[in-house]
């Protein structure tokens, strides 16, 4: 047997196989033994029909070719891929040139492989780095969020409805004097200023007192969901049953003590600022990292096989399907309800998938160019970090890890080194 490998392009190779006639004839014998158990010929017990009889009945020795070829292919294709260290990304396209008893089996396989990457400039790329400043307004807004979490709803007895109040009310709506479906309710709560009711409704309630009744004239929006009511004038008879107002805690040292480990408002405020600044710095760093990788990708040349993009889309779709399943939904139903077909649904991931594949290939090329490695200690540290993220005991996790799992963590360590290398060597504008 002989095998030759020819590179057709940066991401495609052709393997040519020449199998000795004796090896193919042996495969034909095995194919006959397998096939004869599946055919019945009058005058012979099942599985006992002579080879020539089967050939005569089914058009010649070609009846065994498919089975014999599969046997040979399984024997030679995988070892050839391993021997030549090919990273195959798609099924091979097989072309048989010669086949038959007493002849060498000759065939070729064209297969897409992980493409070559030509790195351009990757050390010292120039990228703009943002430095986001946290404003006083942002700090105050964050504190105000916490105040609103601590707010209490207090009944109001001595005044009329005001903006921001929550009102308990009864109402009954009619159009041209006729009540309509869904237009009547009792003990309904409404936050004045939320704009959850028909435009003009909440505004007309401002100034009403508890127990007061009033007719509110409004007009349904043109785009109202109930078409029979769209753009119609309506009258709602309303009665105010009760009023509550939101009372925020005082912004003082006691407030800081109640919601934090700090004794003073100034200390709490300084901590809020520090956290916001840390978040802003992390966003800036992530943006810088992404910009560096993007620049390195722009400078690189690589031809991406479609099969790799499709595999990435498959992965993204599976992840989305898993998230849907957690909500009790099926992907097929989601696609149907959103008015898509499977092709259009997958295509929405294509651009992102292409970018992801390109980034992985380019970063892998950087890893190889710089000969990054991962020590056992670094791999163990990565496992410890992962165990902490999922809340699992480190030792139990390690016991259940396969060699393939450790290779996964090793790849993560190397990838982190490559990204850090690119960022450390980038020139921030």
pLDDT digits over 393-427, tens only? 888 888 888 888 899 999 999 999 999 999 999 99
- Give the contacts of 360 (CB within 8 A, at least 6 positions apart): none
Identify the band that residue 68 occupies on the pLDDT scale cut at 50, 70 and 90. Answer: very high
Summarize the confidence of residues 164-193 as an average pLDDT.
93
Identify the band that residue 257 occupies on the pLDDT scale cut at 50, 70 and 90. Answer: very high
Q: Collapse the DSSP code of 254 into the 3-class scheme (helix H, G, I; strand E, B; otherwise coil) and give the result.
A: helix
Summarize the confidence of residues 23-39 as an average pLDDT.
83
pLDDT at 40 over 80: no
In the chain the domains, ranked by start, together with CATH numbers, are 2-114 (3.30.70.1050), 152-247 (3.10.50.40), 265-428 (1.10.3120.10)
91 exposure class (CB count in 10 Å sphere: 0-12, 13-18, 19+): exposed
Summarize the confidence of residues 120-149 as an average pLDDT.
94
- Give the contacts of 98 (CB within 8 A, at least 6 positions apart): 104, 105, 106, 107
In DSSP notation, 368-398 reads HHHT----HHHHHHHHHHHHHHHT--HHHHH
pLDDT at 45 over 90: no
What pLDDT does 226 receive?
Answer: 85
What pLDDT does 108 receive?
Answer: 95
Task: State the chain's mean pLDDT as an integer.
Answer: 91
Cα–chain center distance at 1: 46
Identify the band that residue 92 occupies on the pLDDT scale cut at 50, 70 and 90. Answer: very high
**Nearest to 24, CA basis, from 114, 126, 99:** 99
Percent with pLDDT over 90 in the chain: 75
User: pLDDT tens for residues 225-240?
Assistant: 888 899 999 999 999 9
pLDDT at 165 over 70: yes
In DSSP notation, 130-189 reads --PPPPHHHHHHHHHHHHHHT-EEEEE-SS---TT-EEEEEEEEEETTEEEEEEEEEEEE
pLDDT at 57 over 80: no
pLDDT at 41 over 80: no
What pLDDT does 353 receive?
Answer: 96
What pLDDT does 398 receive?
Answer: 87
Q: Collapse the DSSP code of 94 into the 3-class scheme (helix H, G, I; strand E, B; otherwise coil) and give the result.
A: strand
Identify the band that residue 132 occupies on the pLDDT scale cut at 50, 70 and 90. Answer: very high
Summarize the confidence of residues 167-173 as an average pLDDT.
95
User: pLDDT tens for residues 272-319?
Assistant: 999 999 999 999 999 999 999 999 999 999 999 899 999 999 999 999
**Residues 392, 377: Cα–Cα separation, whole Å:** 19
pLDDT at 429 over 80: no
Identify the band that residue 10 occupies on the pLDDT scale cut at 50, 70 and 90. Answer: confident
Percent with pLDDT over 70 in the chain: 96
């Amino acid at each position: 047997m002989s095998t030759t490998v020819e590179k057709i392009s940066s991401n495609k190779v052709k393997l040519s196989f020449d199998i000795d006639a004796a090896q193919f004839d042996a495969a034909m014998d095995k194919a006959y033994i397998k096939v004869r158990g599946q055919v019945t010929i009058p005058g012979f017990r099942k599985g006992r029909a002579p080879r020539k009889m089967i050939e005569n009945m089914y058009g010649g020795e070609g009846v065994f070719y498919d089975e014999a070829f599969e046997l040979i292919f399984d024997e030679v294709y995988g070892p050839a891929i391993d021997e030549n260290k090919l990273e195959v990304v798609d099924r091979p396209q097989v072309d048989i040139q010669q086949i038959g008893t007493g002849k060498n089996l000759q065939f070729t396989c064209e297969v897409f492989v992980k493409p070559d990457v030509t790195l351009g400039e990757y050390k010292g790329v120039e990228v703009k780095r943002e430095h986001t400043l946290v404003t006083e307004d942002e700090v105050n807004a964050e504190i105000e969020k916490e105040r609103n979490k601590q707010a209490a709803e207090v009944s109001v007895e001595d005044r009329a409805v005001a903006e921001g109040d929550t009102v308990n009310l009864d109402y009954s709506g009619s159009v041209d004097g006729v009540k309509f479906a869904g237009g009547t309710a009792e003990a309904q709560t409404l936050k004045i200023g939320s704009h959850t009711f028909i435009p003009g409704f909440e505004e007309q309630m401002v100034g009403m007192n508890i127990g007061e009744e009033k007719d509110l004239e409004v007009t349904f929006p043109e785009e109202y969901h109930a078409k029979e009511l769209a753009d119609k004038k309506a009258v709602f008879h309303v009665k105010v049953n009760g009023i509550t107002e939101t009372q925020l805690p005082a912004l003082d040292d006691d407030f800081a003590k109640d919601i934090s480990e700090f004794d003073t408002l100034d200390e709490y405020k300084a901590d809020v600022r520090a956290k916001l600044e840390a978040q802003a710095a992390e966003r800036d760093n992530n943006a810088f990292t992404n910009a560096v990788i993007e620049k390195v990708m722009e400078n690189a040349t690589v031809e991406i096989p479609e099969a790799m993009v499709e595999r990435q889309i498959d992965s993204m779709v599976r992840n989305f399907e898993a998230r849907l399943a957690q909500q009790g939904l099926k992907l097929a139903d989601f696609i149907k309800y959103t008015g898509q077909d499977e092709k259009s649904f997958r295509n929405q991931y294509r651009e992102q998938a292409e970018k992801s594949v390109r980034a992985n290939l380019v970063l892998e090329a950087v890893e190889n160019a710089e000969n990054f490695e991962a020590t056992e200690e670094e791999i163990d540290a990565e496992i410890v970090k992962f165990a902490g993220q999922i809340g699992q005991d480190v030792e139990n996790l390690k016991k259940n890890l396969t060699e393939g799992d450790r290779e996964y963590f090793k790849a993560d360590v190397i990838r982190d080194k490559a990204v850090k290398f690119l960022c450390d060597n980038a020139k921030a504008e």
